[in-house]
């Protein structure tokens, strides 16, 4: 069975050494080594920032890197 996009992003973040902080409604929060957090949405969206309200989407290049390591 293949992994969902969200599961692949989680695997990529974990391989980078990031850790899960908490689970919110529709969102999983991971640490970010250089400060702030990663916010993973239920549909596979990934955002970065210091809080969920002001977070911004990650770049397509970084998405590719995360998905590349999680294979």
Confidence label for 41 from pLDDT (cuts 50, 70 and 90): very high
Q: Work out how many domains the chain is built from and give that number.
A: 1
Burial class (CB in 10 A: 0-12, 13-18, 19+), 36: middle
9 touches 39 (CB < 8 A)? no
For residues 50-65, b (16+ Cβ closer than 10 Å) or e, as one string?
eeeeebeebeeeebee
Q: Round the CA-based radius of gyration of the chain to a whole number and report it.
A: 11
Tell me the per-residue pLDDT of 54-68, one tens digit each, with 9 for 90 and over.
999 999 999 999 998
Confidence label for 1 from pLDDT (cuts 50, 70 and 90): low
Residue 25 in tokens: 């409604």
Q: Which domain holds residue 12?
A: 5-69
């Amino acid at each position: 069975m293949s992994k969902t996009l969200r599961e692949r992003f989680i695997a990529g973040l974990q391989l980078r050494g990031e850790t899960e902080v908490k689970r919110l409604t529709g969102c999983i929060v991971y640490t970010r080594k250089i400060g702030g957090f990663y916010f993973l949405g239920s549909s596979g969206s990934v955002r970065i920032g210091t809080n969920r309200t002001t977070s911004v989407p990650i770049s397509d290049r970084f998405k590719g890197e995360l998905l590349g390591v999680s294979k």
